[in-house]
Amino acid sequence: MPTPVSALPIRSLTMADLSACADLAESRGWSREERSWRLLLAAGAGYGIDDPVGGPPAGKGLAAVCVLTSYGPVARIGDGMTDGPGVHRAENGRKRTQRPSSDPVGSQGVGGGPAFAGRPEAGGRSSVDRGLAAVGKLLVAERYERQGLGRRLMRHVLDEADNRPLVLYATSYGLPLYQRLGFTDVGGAARLRGHLRAPDRPSPVTTRPATAHDVRALVRLDAEVLGVDRTALLTRLPSCTDRIQVAEEGSTITGYAAVRSTPRAEVVGPVIAEDTATAEALITALVNGRERPVRLDIDTRHPELLRRLTERGLATASMTTTMTYGTPSLPGDWARHFAPLSLATG
């Protein structure tokens, strides 16, 4: 008697499963976005259940998949200790990150060795918290819906997280499952789509394309805003995006954003910025002159940016709920976190 699909083993995915992951996503009406899958399988841990019937090609399909991307705790600065090189405090008390210059970031990306570690050097002190992990890309093939595969994968992910707090973005379809598993609603994101019209007047915010020398500064800024160390993800960002843009005030980086092309749209994310005007300037610089539709997910705690982008032609296509497990709230400074890299990466 064949093994019921609900009892099939869960296995770790490798880069060899990239096409199968994209096939499953496409079969559920999602864009293939193979570059995003490549990033997730490289920086995170993928788990899947093989399709006993097999997809195209036969015997190599997936019945279900989920990805867990873990981020480490950020080293904290002790009393009387320096912030380390390249970090400066603004008048409002926030740290700002200074960058070196030259050399555009190439499509090959940059390495993630010690030079790009997102932690203070001399004088730093390790954090004792547990970091955070993002859950994403939970997908079940249509013919195996309502057979418990999604629940099994989520319970497996909870075990693999090893008591590390979790975050995910839930659609209305997946919300009941996550609630039953103990996830808590802590916010939301609005997915905007459309053609972004040029602004009525030039922005006073200065932006420029990122360079390879900016990577270390961006890792530091990202850790400060997100409250976790995402070095493994960010050092791969140049290879999975078309362009990274930074905002700066003098020699101080005040934000960054990236854009990547997918079969359906120009996708903007992440967007990290000192304020709403900086976020809008970064988004505008990345998509200005592009004729294809734009897509991005904006945290609903930023109504002013949502209003500005809507007035310029974007419309809300869908909503997701931000949920956490094992922590009552997310770390970091949400006021400067306007949009994630993707819903899968948190």
Indicate whether 296 pLDDT > 50.
yes
Indicate whether 110 pLDDT > 80.
no
- The rounded distance, in Å, linking the Cα atoms of 8 and 6 is 6
Dihedral angle computed from the Cα positions of residues 222, 228, 229 and 230, in that order, rounded to the nearest 10 degrees: -70
Q: Determine if the pTM surpasses 0.85.
A: no
- Model pLDDT, residue 80: 32
SS3 content of the chain, % helix, strand, coil (to 5): 30, 30, 40
- Model pLDDT, residue 227: 95
pLDDT in tens, 247-293: 999 888 999 999 999 989 999 999 999 999 999 999 999 998 888 99
Residues with Cβ within 8 Å of residue 166, at least 6 apart in sequence: 132, 133, 134, 135, 157, 158, 183, 324, 325, 326
Local confidence band at 4 (pLDDT 50, 70, 90 cut-offs) = confident
Amino acid at 92: N
pLDDT in tens, 131-149: 999 999 999 999 999 999 9
Under DSSP, is residue 301 helix (H, G, I), strand (E, B) or coil? coil
Among 123, 34, 130, 145, CA closest to 77: 123
- The rounded distance, in Å, linking the Cα atoms of 246 and 256 is 4
- Model pLDDT, residue 27: 94
- Model pLDDT, residue 281: 98
Window from 57-71, 156-170, 180-194, 209-223 with minimum mean pLDDT: 57-71
Q: What Å distances lie between residue 233 and 25, 36, 215, CA to CA?
A: 21, 11, 12
Indicate whether 39 pLDDT > 90.
yes
Indicate whether 331 pLDDT > 70.
yes
Q: Residue 169, CB half-sphere, CA atoms under 13 Å: how many?
A: 21
Dihedral angle computed from the Cα positions of residues 36, 37, 43 and 44, in that order, rounded to the nearest 10 degrees: 130
Angle, nearest 10°, between helix axes 34-43 and 18-27? 130
Dihedral angle computed from the Cα positions of residues 208, 210, 213 and 219, in that order, rounded to the nearest 10 degrees: 120
Residue 52 φ/ψ, nearest 5 degrees: -65, -25
Local confidence band at 54 (pLDDT 50, 70, 90 cut-offs) = low
Output the six-digit token pair for 306: 């949502």
Higher pLDDT, 1 or 186: 186
- Model pLDDT, residue 71: 96
Share of the chain above pLDDT 90, in %: 71
Task: Indicate the DSSP class of residue 252.
Answer: E
Indicate whether 105 pLDDT > 60.
no
Higher pLDDT, 333 or 118: 333
| Residue 300 Cα to chain centre, angstroms | 16
Indicate whether 301 pLDDT > 80.
yes
Local confidence band at 1 (pLDDT 50, 70, 90 cut-offs) = low
- Model pLDDT, residue 90: 42
Higher pLDDT, 282 or 89: 282
- Model pLDDT, residue 5: 76
- The rounded distance, in Å, linking the Cα atoms of 46 and 154 is 12
Q: What mean pLDDT comes out for the span 314-325?
A: 97
- The number of residues in the chain equals 346
Q: What mean pLDDT comes out for the span 80-94?
A: 37
Residue 282 φ/ψ, nearest 5 degrees: -65, -45
Tell me the pLDDT of the chain averaged across its residues. Answer: 84
Among 242, 259, 290, 245, CA closest to 106: 242
pLDDT in tens, 175-228: 999 999 999 999 999 999 999 999 988 899 999 999 999 999 999 999 999 999
Output the six-digit token pair for 329: 């709230």
Under DSSP, is residue 64 helix (H, G, I), strand (E, B) or coil? strand
- Per DSSP bridges, beta strands 243-249 and 206-209 are antiparallel
Q: Are 135 and 167 in contact (CB under 8 A)?
A: yes
